Amino acid sequence: MLVLYKYAQAREADVRDLCGRIITQMIYEEGNEPVISQVYKSFTSLGGDEELRRAYPTYYSDRYIRGFPSETEDGFFDEIEEDFRRSEINRTMKTALLMHYSALDSLSDQQMENATTLLTENLLAGRYFAFYKKLDISLVVKNGIYERMIIEYRGDPFDTLEIRLSSPDGREKNAQMTEVYDGIYVYTFIMFQGERVSYSIRSLQGDIRKEGQIMDQDYIEEIADSRFGRLGAIYKDQHSGSDALKQDVEDYIRIDVSENDLFSMV
């Protein structure tokens, strides 16, 4: 049909219905044709069906989130931003737009406002992705992402996966991972500075899907002076026998951090 489209377009024929069939077929077959962006532009300029017009950016947003090749033009996310301004995008497009922002070196004021809205919406719904760590540092710090470990696994959708955490001193914890998006499974927890945790991700049958080890990073100034940073100082003092323990506990006396969200227990 692509050959027919090029032939008809060259002769200035009405290609709206043909474009609609090409887009529908590509989505159904999970294709990724280089010429598809041109087909989509023709479709929208000729007043194509609104439902199909929204299906196209949803389809490519989904491919972007899942890391599949996407034959889209540079202005793809500009159009999604415009639709977002009009409150006309779905959750898939919202997540793709936020992921796009995490890949940019800097954000405009409007993009920062968009990213704040999108991130807040996801966090309130309990949806975490590993790419959050790559967002603008002000967003990472403000939303408590800097100190949070995000373990992400990508596999088949609708699976049930368990993660097993273990520390060098023998403590262990088992938990079920959350499928935050089709085939994307996440487990998050908080670690103190200098801690090290090994983990393995397993199926219900016990097959190991992924193994690894993570260590928390040093705190930047904004984190060191925060409630969490002070809690980390108490943990460090306690395990090193530092004389500063009493003072750090006094500094922390008004802090209210849920123990259920911590892998380490002070």
pLDDT tens readout for residues 114-123 = 999 999 999 9
For residue 11, pLDDT beyond 70: no
DSSP 22-41: HHHHHHHTT---TTHHHHHH
CA proximity to 78, closest of 96, 91, 52, 63: 96
Answer yes or no: is 138 within a domain: no
Q: Token digits for 243?
A: 């004389």
Higher pLDDT, 231 or 21: 21
Q: pLDDT value at position 103? A: 94
Q: Which of 71-80, 92-101, 139-148, 196-205 has the lowest mean pLDDT?
A: 71-80
pLDDT above 60: residue 4: no
Domain annotation covers residue 141: no
For residue 167, give its domain range: 146-261
Q: Is the pLDDT of residue 245 over 90?
A: no
Better-predicted residue by pLDDT, 18 or 142: 142
Quick one: average pLDDT of 64-88?
84
**257 confidence band (pLDDT: 50, 70, 90):** very low
Q: Which neighbouring-strand residues pair with 175?
A: 163
pLDDT in tens, 187-243: 999 877 667 899 999 999 999 999 999 876 554 444 445 555 555 555 555 555 555
Helix (H, G, I), strand (E, B) or coil at 163: strand
Give yes or no: residues 92 and 28 share one domain.
yes
Give burial (CB, 10 Å; 0-12/13-18/19+) of 227.
Answer: middle
DSSP strands (E only) in the chain:
148-154, 161-166, 172-176, 178-181, 184-190, 196-203, 208-215
Q: Are 35 and 102 contained in the same domain?
A: yes
Q: What is the pTM of this model?
A: 0.75
Q: Are residues 124 and 218 in the same domain?
A: no
Q: How confident is the model at residue 53 (pLDDT cuts 50, 70, 90)?
A: confident
From 45-59, 182-196, 250-264, the region with the lowest mean pLDDT:
250-264
Same domain, residue pair 124 and 7: yes
Residues 165 and 222 in one domain: yes
Q: Please tell me the distance from the alpha carbon of residue 217 to that of residue 251, in angstroms, as a whole number.
A: 23
Residue where a domain stops, chosen among 105, 132, 159: 132
Q: Which among 82, 101, 132 is the end of a domain?
A: 132
- 157 shares its domain with 55: no
- pLDDT category at 105 given cuts 50, 70, 90 is very high
Q: Is the dihedral of CA 220, 129, 31, 51 positive or negative?
A: negative
Same domain, 166 and 89: no
Query: Do 228 and 190 meet the contact criterion of CB atoms below 8 Å apart?
Result: yes
Last residue of a domain, one of 98, 132, 166: 132
Average pLDDT taken over every residue of the chain: 78
> What local confidence, expressed as pLDDT, does residue 169 receive?
84
